[in-house]
Every structure is written in C-alpha cells, then in structure tokens.
Amino acid sequence: MALTGLFLVFFLLVHLIANLTLFMGPDSFNATAEFMGTNPVIQVMQPILALGFIAHIITGIILELKNRSSRPVSYTKNNVAANSSWMSRNMIVTGIMIFAFLVLHLINYFIPIKTTHVENHYELVVGLFKNPLYAGVYILAFVFLGLHLMHGFQSSLTTTGIRRDKYQNCIKTLGTIYSLVVALGFIAIAVWFHFA
C-alpha cells in the first residue's frame, strides 16, 4: 500500500506539472500532450501506472476489510477523534471518490485520445472544464484527493520506515504542503478554465 501510494504521489506531481502547461496556451499544452502520447518511456510507464493504481485500490480494499473484521464487536464508548484523524478514518471513502473520478476522467479524456485522433488536446480539456457539472465533479474529486494525501503521504513514509520521530513534524508539514499544492493546483486549473 505504501509503495504504490508513493509511486502515485510521484505520478500526481508529474501530471500536475504537465497540466499546468494549460496556462501557457494551446501550443504548449498540445506539445506536452504530444510528447506524453509519443514518448516511448511514458508509453512503457502507462501499463505500470495502471498496475500501480490497481494494486493500490485492491490493497486498500483488503486493508479496510481486515480492519473491520479485526474488531467485529463495536466499542461501547469510543472517542475516535482522540485516536485518529478524520482523514485516516475515511481513507476508503476518499479512495472511492477518487476512483469514481478516475473512471470519469478515463471516459472523458484518456479513452477518446487513445481511440480517436485528437489533434487539439487543449480544446478537449478546456471544453470539459466549461461544463459546470464536469468542473464541479473535478473540483470535488481533488478536494477528496487532498484529504486522502494528507494522511496517505505521511502514513506511507511511516510504513516504509522513512518517517522517524525526530523528522515527524517536518514530514507532516511536507505532506500537508504537498497535499495542498497538488489539490489546489488541479482545482485552480478547473476554476480558471471554467470561468475563462
């Protein structure tokens, strides 16, 4: 779970950087999309990325089921907020929301560019953001992603043994900054191109 999560953390940063070229205009974004669509290294990485997503999702479901089955009888009194954050208790919820958006994103962007010859990626993306329903779902999905990352980032470092007590505050801060930058970066793109 931690390793696939860290792999996806890296992917999200690369994806955000690529998407930020939308602000540089159609030529820059279309050139970026063309590079991403034809670069052999990226083409090899696509199935690896898909397997990373699948492994992360399956592992998340297995962990959720194990957690639920480990305590079949509920506590009589339990102050869950004192023991864990909202994000850590709701990773499965935020994960499901992210997965639902991922399916929508594949249907609306990835499948069309793979099955038809899309010449103007910029037009396709900006057209999606002009749709208020799509823009709203996109923004909501990245709110959920930010919440998911706030727990997942530091949790994955703890699981892999990278997070030590003396670095705990630094890693927590770094995780929060990363989560906010990624979530707000994608949200800013949607808001800007919806209203532009």
Is 16 a residue whose pLDDT tops 70? yes
pLDDT digits (tens, 9 = 90+) for 144-171: 999 999 999 888 887 887 766 777 888 8
Is 117 a residue whose pLDDT tops 90? no
Structure pTM? 0.90
Residue 156, classified by CB atoms within 10 Å of its CB into exposed (0-12), middle (13-18) or buried (19+), is buried
Rounded mean pLDDT, 130-155: 95
Greater model confidence, 128 or 163: 128
Q: Please count the other Cβ atoms lying within 10 Å of the Cβ belonging to residue 107.
A: 10
Residue 158's pLDDT is what? 79
Dihedral sign, Cα of residue 8, residue 10, residue 13, residue 14: negative
Residue 163's pLDDT is what? 63
> Half-sphere exposure of 100 toward its Cβ, with a 13 Å CA cutoff?
13
Average pLDDT value over all residues in the chain: 90
pLDDT above 70: percentage of residues in the chain = 92
Residue 72's pLDDT is what? 67
CB 149, CB 183: distance < 8 Å = yes
Residue 80's pLDDT is what? 63
Expressed in percent and rounded to 5, the helix, strand and coil fractions of the chain are: 85, 0, 15
Residue 187's pLDDT is what? 98
With CA atoms as reference, report the closest residue to 154 among 171, 178, 179, 170: 171
pLDDT digits (tens, 9 = 90+) for 47-89: 999 999 999 999 999 998 998 888 766 665 666 666 678 888 8
CB 193, CB 129: distance < 8 Å = yes
Residue 1's pLDDT is what? 87
The domains located in the chain, with CATH, are: 2-73+86-195 (1.20.1300.10)
